[in-house]
């Protein structure tokens, strides 16, 4: 999510807060990305609704999404 606006932090926070409040979805956020885990139909629906909401609120906001067909939520991430 790349909100092309001065209030970009608030826009990102609002989008992520919306995802965090959906039962059945696990959200992991780090400084470089956010990973969303759960049933694919639920995840895609939640992301779609979130994007549609953003598009009613912001003039320009590109999204970049990568999809992986495996749950890696338990993967250990090293802090170098």
Residue 35 lies in a domain: yes
Question: Number of structural domains, the chain?
Answer: 1
How many Å apart are CA 59 and CA 57, to the nearest integer? 7
How many Å apart are CA 25 and CA 9, to the nearest integer? 22
The residue-averaged pLDDT of 1-17 equals 93
> To the nearest whole number, what is the mean pLDDT of the chain?
92
Residue 79 lies in a domain: no
Residue 50 lies in a domain: yes
Residues in the chain: 80
pLDDT of amino acid 34: 92
Which structural domain, as residue segments, surrounds residue 15?
A: 8-57
How many Å apart are CA 80 and CA 77, to the nearest integer? 9
Residue 46 lies in a domain: yes
Residue 40 lies in a domain: yes
Q: What is the pLDDT of residues 32-41, one digit of tens each?
A: 889 999 999 9
Backbone dihedral region of 38: left (phi > 0), alpha (psi from -120 to 50 degrees) or beta? left
Residue 74 lies in a domain: no
Judged against a pLDDT cut of 90, whether residue 72 lies above it is answered with no
């Amino acid at each position: 999510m790349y909100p092309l606006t001065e209030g970009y932090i608030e826009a990102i926070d609002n989008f992520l807060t919306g995802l965090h409040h959906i039962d059945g979805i696990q959200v992991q956020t780090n400084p470089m990305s956010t990973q969303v885990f759960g049933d694919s139909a639920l995840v895609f629906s939640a992301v779609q609704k979130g994007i549609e909401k953003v598009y009613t609120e912001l003039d320009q906001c590109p999204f970049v999404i990568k999809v992986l067909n495996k749950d890696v939520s338990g993967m250990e991430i090293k802090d170098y």
